[in-house]
Amino acid sequence: MSEQRLLILDDDELTGKTISNIAEFAGMKTCICQTSVDFFQKLEHWQPSHIAVDLIMPDMDGVEVLVELANRKTSAGVIITSGVGHRILEAAARSASEHGLNILGTLPKPFNPRRFRELVNIDFKAAFRNTRSADLQPRAVRSVNEDDLRTAIHQGNISVVYQPKIECHGGKLTGFEALARWEHPEKGLIPPDLFIGMAEAQGLIDSLTILVFEQALPWFNQFLQQIAGYHNLPTSNDLHLSVNISARSLLNAELFEHIHELCSNNGLDSHQIMLELTETGAMDDPVASLDMLTRLRMRGFHLSIDDFGTGFSSMVQLVRMPFSEVKIDKSFVMTAHTSRESRLVIKAIIELAHSLGLQATAEGIEDMQTLQFLQELNCDHAQGYMLGRPAQGDTFIDWLQQRHQEIEKQRLQALKGSKLLDTPAEERFDRITRLAKRLFKVPITLISLVDENRQWFKSKTGLTVCETSREVAFCSYAIEQDGLFLVEDASRDSRFADNPLVTGPPFIRFYAGYPVAAPTGEKLGTLCLIDHVNRKFTQREADTLQELATMVEEEIATNQLLSEDHLTGLLNRRGFEGRAGHVLQLCQRQQMVTSLVYIDLDNFKQINDRQGHQAGDDALIQFARTLSMTFRDSDLIARIGGDEFVVMLINQDAADIPAIMQRLQSTVQAYNDKVNPELHLSYSYGLASAETDSEYSLQQLYAVADEAMYRNKRQSSTDKPH
């Protein structure tokens, strides 16, 4: 039916007319009913595409009306209206949805015309198809019994399909969930909820579980072998296979021994398998569950608590048991765009999971709006019909190639949106590449952005060219990784041995690249190290490179205008403290000394008052230049107040600091010798260093250096720097 018709049930004539006017303005035909009797008569004959129901009615309340609509198998999109509280409206909507109605949303009174237009424009039929899993809908009477199920298991008539799981940020494939399907030759497709519950009740669940593993493991191993030759597809270490486990099976140690043996026989390690346990089942026998789940984790299996948030002791079980993943129940995910309560629950579950060191996976994602919401909450993994429907295993090579093309398209859009390509060099990025060059002692460091046909260098040290073809770029491989991409000797690596960047300038032998991503997760390029000789790379070095890549990502996400002192060009307090926090974390984890020099320009006020504001500004600019000339270009230098400056020295030998400060004094003195005595610069400084864990606090360094500065100031004369 192309014509949109709205049937309104509201006992208040003025309210009904208001909704009618809004709807007619949106191009709909309307009909207003003030009693439930008239409403149901009109429903039968008028066949509306949309229905608006007020919850508070004198003869038959709105909940009763909604139940009756469900009983009549009404397919129209339903909008629930009322002046009752928000939580009551949401509860009514959830109840109606559980009854099978197509709930478009709620419309609180007083009405918002824009909200109404948004609701009636929803493609509710498509949404309903998505949320109802069309492949699980009835096609025949399902009067199956225990004997039918036992025969199906014995004859292997229950098959397995697979649904992909992806990263919330970036969209990369992370694994599959194996799902059992029973296609009865006479009675059609039997819903999993029906036959799995029957298997548990009749003691057949362990046999069914083994049947799933016997089909899923060989397929997964074959799939991993098929994708092994593609550098732009995930590696076997990146992917896992999730299989559901009934809590009733936790007492059967022989079952899990059999599963472990099946993994070995199919060339799979246990760490590649995720066992999903429904939380309500996990609570049936907490002691037995804890024993078995602990043993499974010791064997290397990952454990997921499925449908989290629907039980009564969820948090207790989550804390007590050794889960590695929390799976957010789809009843919350699928109502996230319409229910504030669902959004709050999802947010709380993700934060709880991360605080316990667990991954969070959301299932039931059917639209981009929900995915973007989950990305904002830093959810780890996503699963749903929008991302990939359950399908036969032989379809996923093509699906994966198509998925990679979609991700690349999104990545290029994000790169273009970053507005970094083909822009001038920026100190905020150059500071990081210079620091990387100093820390790793390599001749070349780059921040490389990978475009469609080239890699372009936003920042570079030790290299004269600004870009190369993507076809020969090591970074093109690196952006396909979630972590470090390492080539210790390119001349012996079959992927790169004949690469022109290896056989010719810059004669790459060693390459280490870490991907850098946009705030939304798309990998834009890399921070990479290049050497002309082969070399080893330690875990500590890998961690340091990751920290520096995180600093690049922070710069990409930061509004530089808010971080810069516009007079001197140095960092301002906000810009300094944000970056200093990362530097302190880096130095603390890598056991590198960090020093803070706190400097006060003693006579700035005197110059400003006597010679004017322009002279004062010139003094600040000159002193900023002097600091930049004196300290290393990889150190953090900032003006944090009117006449206050700070310098953070990274991994600087304490024995060299007096010589550096003497160089500063000499440079200032050389400037003073050339200018009017009224414009002489005079400063005091204090020094603080962090060498033990308790000292890596910016506020503590501030306090110690500030105290030392004022102590020096009191001991010094006003015309001599100290």
Q: What is the Cα–Cα distance from 107 to 53, expressed in whole angstroms?
A: 10
Q: Over 50: is that where the pLDDT of 445 sits?
A: yes
Q: What is the Cα–Cα distance from 425 to 447, expressed in whole angstroms?
A: 11
Q: What is the Cα–Cα distance from 538 to 657, expressed in whole angstroms?
A: 29
The pLDDT assigned to 141 comes to 40
- Which pLDDT band holds residue 2 (cuts at 50, 70, 90)? low
Nearest to 168 by CA among 377, 367, 477: 377
Q: pLDDT tens digits, residue range 544-573?
A: 999 999 999 989 988 777 888 999 999 999
Burial of 175 (C-beta count, 10 Å sphere; 0-12/13-18/19+): buried
- Which pLDDT band holds residue 284 (cuts at 50, 70, 90)? low
Cα within 13 Å of Cα(574), Cβ side: 10
Q: Over 90: is that where the pLDDT of 151 sits?
A: yes
The pLDDT assigned to 559 comes to 74
- Which pLDDT band holds residue 331 (cuts at 50, 70, 90)? confident
CA distances from 28 to 78, 80, 116, 268, 651 (A): 15, 18, 12, 58, 70
Q: What is the Cα–Cα distance from 596 to 701, expressed in whole angstroms?
A: 7
The pair phi, psi for residue 303, each rounded to 5°, is -125, 135
The pLDDT assigned to 451 comes to 95
Q: pLDDT tens digits, residue range 17-57?
A: 888 888 887 788 999 999 999 999 999 889 999 999 998 88
Largest Cα–Cα distance in the chain? Answer: 104
Q: Over 60: is that where the pLDDT of 227 sits?
A: yes
Q: What is the Cα–Cα distance from 329 to 327, expressed in whole angstroms?
A: 6
Q: Over 70: is that where the pLDDT of 133 sits?
A: no
Catalytic choice (643, 656, 673, 706): 643
Q: What is the Cα–Cα distance from 325 to 377, expressed in whole angstroms?
A: 16
Query: Who has greater pLDDT, 511 or 250?
Result: 511
The pLDDT assigned to 232 comes to 61
Average pLDDT, the chain: 87
Query: How much is the average pLDDT of 314-332?
Result: 82
- To the nearest whole percent, how much of the chain has pLDDT over 70? 92
Query: How much is the average pLDDT of 329-357?
Result: 89
Q: pLDDT tens digits, residue range 186-224?
A: 888 888 888 988 898 889 999 999 999 999 999 999 999
Within 10 Å of residue 46's Cβ, how many Cβ atoms? 12
The token duo for 451 is 């475009």
Query: How much is the average pLDDT of 505-531?
Result: 94
Query: How much is the average pLDDT of 465-489?
Result: 93
* Weakest mean pLDDT among 64-73, 277-286, 339-348, 621-630: 277-286
The pLDDT assigned to 722 comes to 45
Q: pLDDT tens digits, residue range 612-648?
A: 999 999 999 999 999 999 998 889 999 999 999 999 9
The pLDDT assigned to 135 comes to 39
Find out whether 707 and 589 touch, Cβ atoms under 8 Å: no
For residue 519, whether the previous peptide bond is cis, meaning omega lies within 30 degrees of 0, is no
Q: What is the Cα–Cα distance from 14 to 161, expressed in whole angstroms?
A: 54
Q: Over 90: is that where the pLDDT of 310 sits?
A: no
The pLDDT assigned to 40 comes to 94
- Which pLDDT band holds residue 374 (cuts at 50, 70, 90)? very high
- To the nearest whole percent, how much of the chain has pLDDT over 90? 57
The pLDDT assigned to 127 comes to 41
Query: Who has greater pLDDT, 118 or 47?
Result: 47
Active site residue 291: no
Find out whether 301 and 270 touch, Cβ atoms under 8 Å: yes
pTM greater than 0.75 (yes/no) = no
Which residue(s) pair with 683 in the sheet?
A: 601
- Which pLDDT band holds residue 137 (cuts at 50, 70, 90)? very low
- Which domains, from first to last, does the chain contain? 5-131 (3.40.50.2300), 142-394 (3.20.20.450), 419-557 (3.30.450.40), 560-715 (3.30.70.270)
Q: What is the Cα–Cα distance from 140 to 189, expressed in whole angstroms?
A: 8
The pLDDT assigned to 282 comes to 44
> Residue 521: which H helix or E strand, with range?
none
- Which pLDDT band holds residue 87 (cuts at 50, 70, 90)? confident
Query: How much is the average pLDDT of 704-721?
Result: 77
The pLDDT assigned to 247 comes to 83
Query: How much is the average pLDDT of 89-97?
Result: 83
